[in-house]
Amino acid sequence: MGKHVVAAVADIAPGQRRLVTVRGRPIAIFNLSGEFFGLLNRCPHQGGSLCDGVLTGLIEASEPGSYRFSRQGEIVRCPWHGWEFDIRTGLSWCEPSRVQVRTYPVETDSGHNLVAGPYVAETVSVSVEGHYVVVEM
């Protein structure tokens, strides 16, 4: 398993997300106030795109009638059926012991370190034939 560069930090602003494909897998990358997290972009219920889901938080109550909203933007709600998942852990908010989304480790690194580091850049051969560009896969 290699490390793959998928975006510049500036390309995914805090509170935003981006869908990337790594080794054929669709991964939703979320930026939570400068921390990045990766989730498989498929809800375990019926495969809805989590990258298209609503970002929300938690409504908590310490006692009846006393509510507070916390963890704003850290919970993603599947757009198909409303299943909610913790972006930091991939765990279902309703059934964390039974349901979860696969998570992927995400980190940031400087461009200088990427040149000499263990990262894998996928390359393909490109040639020009007449007026057409042909990509060899």
- Reply yes or no on whether the pLDDT at 12 is more than 80: yes
**Rounded CA gap, 75 and 30, in Å?**
11
pLDDT score of 128 = 53
The answer to whether residue 3 sits within a structural domain is: no
Q: Is pLDDT above 90 for 114? A: no
Residue 94: pLDDT band with limits 50, 70, 90: confident
Q: Report d(CA 48, CA 28) in Å as an integer.
A: 12
Q: Give the pLDDT score at 23.
A: 87
Q: State whether residue 2 is helix, strand or coil.
A: coil
Nearest to 43 by CA among 5, 77, 2, 4: 77
In which domain, by residue range, is 120 found? 9-136
Is the pLDDT at 1 greater than 70? The verdict is no
- When divided into structural domains, the chain yields a total of 1
Q: How many CA atoms lie within 13 A of 61 on its CB side?
A: 5
pLDDT (tens digit per residue) in 35-46: 999 999 999 999
Question: What pLDDT was estimated at residue 86?
Answer: 96
CATH number for position 63: 2.102.10.10
Q: What are 55-70's pLDDT values in tens digits?
A: 999 888 888 989 999 9
Integer Cα distance of 19 and 30 in angstroms: 9
